[in-house]
Amino acid sequence: MSKEIYGVCPILATPFDEQGRIDEDSMRSLIEFELRAGAHGLTLFGIAGEGFKLSEAERDRLTQIVVEQVNARVPVIVGSGATGTDTAVMLAQKAEAAGAGALLVLPPYFVKPADDGLVRYYRRISDAVNIPIIVQDEPLNTGVTMSPGLIARLSAEVPWCRYAKIEARPSTTKISALKALAGDQIGVFGGLGGMYCLEELLRGGVGIMTGFAFPEALVQLYQHFAAGDLNKATEVYLRYLPLLVFEGQAGIGLGIRKETLRLRGVISSSYVRHPGPALDETTYRELHRLLDWMGIPN
């Protein structure tokens, strides 16, 4: 029986060494760091996990490492989806066989089918697995726009489509529209670097799925919110908002996130695989200044 997916489910960065090779020790360190922070689940191969830059063998090895290291302490959510339906089905089946507790599934992002084609795509995946599917709505990177009505339809017609991750801006109003159509039939996660996480929870979200380098802050915020203490949740949100915004910069955000994790002693290198840009010296100085201003050792 699948576990319920909720709460803070960080997107794991993929650590590389300075030559661009996967750093398995840093991945294990990152997993323990996230679990110590109180993560309710861990997400592998999100967009910020650079999964699209990995070979099939690298994906298989990382999935094995994460499932092994987590050791069933929390659900492991594996990002899949592909430009071809057959490939998406294969990736989903491999993830389930490796021990994934759920799938984060992008729509096809080269040939972009209409709504009926997207329903068929997700149904083919659902028919091939026995774990929940999180429909990933991220039009900025995929170029695929999924309306609230379509996502509600997926939750009604495709058995394993029980969750959605909404990253279409503005995410808040889209979450409200989706919840108005589907209610509790679908669990909704926010992403977008966590910049709007409190408002997304207020709109009916069940959790936060992003790779922010201070996961303990998101866990504290979520716990206060779940306990009904909106004032304390807001205090945590406002304290970390400058870092959420700084890390949320398009194009360089992943480099900032990885450098922050390196400064925190979690991973050994902040290397981002090409064509992701390396951070320039000014951005490094701005990050250190912001951490100093917030009283965070670096």
Mean pLDDT confidence for 265-294: 95
With vertex at residue 176, the alpha carbon angle to CA 5 and CA 253, rounded to the nearest 5 degrees, is 65
* Three-state SS letters, the chain: CCCCCCEECCECCCCECCCCCECHHHHHHHHHHHHHCCCCCEEECCHHHCHHHCCHHHHHHHHHHHHHHHCCCCCEEEEECCCCHHHHHHHHHHHHHHCCCEEEECCCCCCCCCHHHHHHHHHHHHHHCCCCEEEEECHHHHCCCCCHHHHHHHHHHCCCEEEEEECCCCHHHHHHHHHHHHHHHCEEEECHHHCCHHHHHHCCCCEECCCCCCHHHHHHHHHHHHCCCHHHHHHHHHHHHHHHHHHCCCCCHHHHHHHHHHHCCCCCCCCCCCCCCCCCHHHHHHHHHHHHHCCCCC
**pLDDT for 65-98, tens place per residue?**
999 999 999 999 999 999 999 999 999 999 999 9
Q: What is the pLDDT of residues 216-228, one digit of tens each?
A: 999 999 999 999 9
Rounded Cα distance between 262 and 281, Å, is: 16
pLDDT of residue 55: 95
Pick from 27-36, 198-207, 269-278: least confident: 269-278
**Tokens 């996230």, residue located:** 34
pLDDT higher than threshold 80 for residue 147:
yes
Query: Domains along the chain?
Result: 7-237 (3.20.20.70)
Give pLDDT, residue 136. Answer: 97
Over 50: is that where the pLDDT of 152 sits? yes
Whether residue 1 has pLDDT greater than 80: no
d(CA 42, CA 243): 21
Residue 110 pLDDT grade (very low, low, confident, very high; cuts 50, 70, 90): confident
For residues 230-245, average pLDDT: 97
pLDDT score for 3: 78
Which pLDDT score, from 0 to 100, does residue 297 have?
A: 86
> Contact 132/102 with Cβ under 8 angstroms?
yes
Question: In this predicted structure, what is the pLDDT of residue 2?
Answer: 65
Q: How many C-alpha atoms does 258 have within 13 Å on its Cβ side?
A: 28
Average pLDDT value for the chain: 96
- Tell me the pLDDT band of 109, cut-offs 50, 70 and 90: confident
Kindly state the percentage of the chain with pLDDT values over 70: 99
